[in-house]
Amino acid sequence: MNERRRPLDGLVIVGTLFLAFMFLNVMEDQGWLKFDWGAPEKPRQAAPVEAGAVDAALPASRGAPVGDLVEVPQPAALDADTIAAPYERFAVTQGIHGAEYDHMAIDISAGKGAAIHSPINGEVTALFIDEWGNPSLILENARYKIELLHGLFTVQIGDRIALGQPIGTESNQGNVADPWGFSCRERDCGYHTHINVFDKNLGRNVDPLELFHSQ
């Protein structure tokens, strides 16, 4: 009797050990258990966002904020000198202006609801509504301080942002006028992004368009 049961007992033990091993594996995969095998931990990164994702997620009605963005993996080395326009294609709707409030900005437009991309690798250092009602986003790194106005911004203060990462969508929020000088408040006009670039190396504002073309 005992002689005949032995092979079965062996099988049961092996099976039980196998199930226990699988169970612990699943527990660890789910993050309920943590085994330290001595190997460095692999960071869990979110999938990158495609450039068009924000546009697709934007509701047809104007003024509606877009949904939360997936975190974009950061480049290994954060190059502070590289700068790019917030849009791949755009029209300049107003040349250099803003000297009265210490800007040397331009207004550019890629169309209502177009995704605005971060011009630099850096960090969101400010996000506020200024005294004229303009949503104001400030992005900074060691080289540049960039101010963007009027958009529906989807990032928050302290966010690390990668060059090209979607940071909001083009809108007409704040002190925006139509070509005849009439306010676009509560009206479907004046969509653009005001961009000012301060070069910390030079200690002054620089012409954004010249900078974009020089890259």
Of residues 72 and 135, the one with the C-beta less far from Zn ion: 135
Structure tokens at 191: 């969509």
The phi, psi pair for 54, rounded to 5°, reads -70, -40
Of residues 121 and 136, the one with the C-beta less far from Zn ion: 136
Of residues 143 and 150, the one with the C-beta less far from Zn ion: 150
Supply the minimum distance, in Å, between the C-beta of residue 79 and Zn ion. Answer: 27
Residue number, nearest CB to Zn ion? 194
- Buried b / exposed e across 180-204, counting CB within 10 Å, b at 16+? eeeebeeeeebbbbbbbbbeeeeee
Q: Which residues bind Zn ion (CB under 5 A)?
A: 107, 194
Supply the minimum distance, in Å, between the C-beta of residue 213 and Zn ion. Answer: 19
Of residues 82 and 93, the one with the C-beta less far from Zn ion: 93
Supply the minimum distance, in Å, between the C-beta of residue 208 and Zn ion. Answer: 11
Which helix or strand (DSSP H or E) is residue 126 part of?
Answer: strand 122-129
- Buried b / exposed e across 54-68, counting CB within 10 Å, b at 16+? beebbeeeeeeebee
Contact indicator for 215, 84 with CB cutoff of 8 Å: yes
Supply the minimum distance, in Å, between the C-beta of residue 177 and Zn ion. Answer: 10
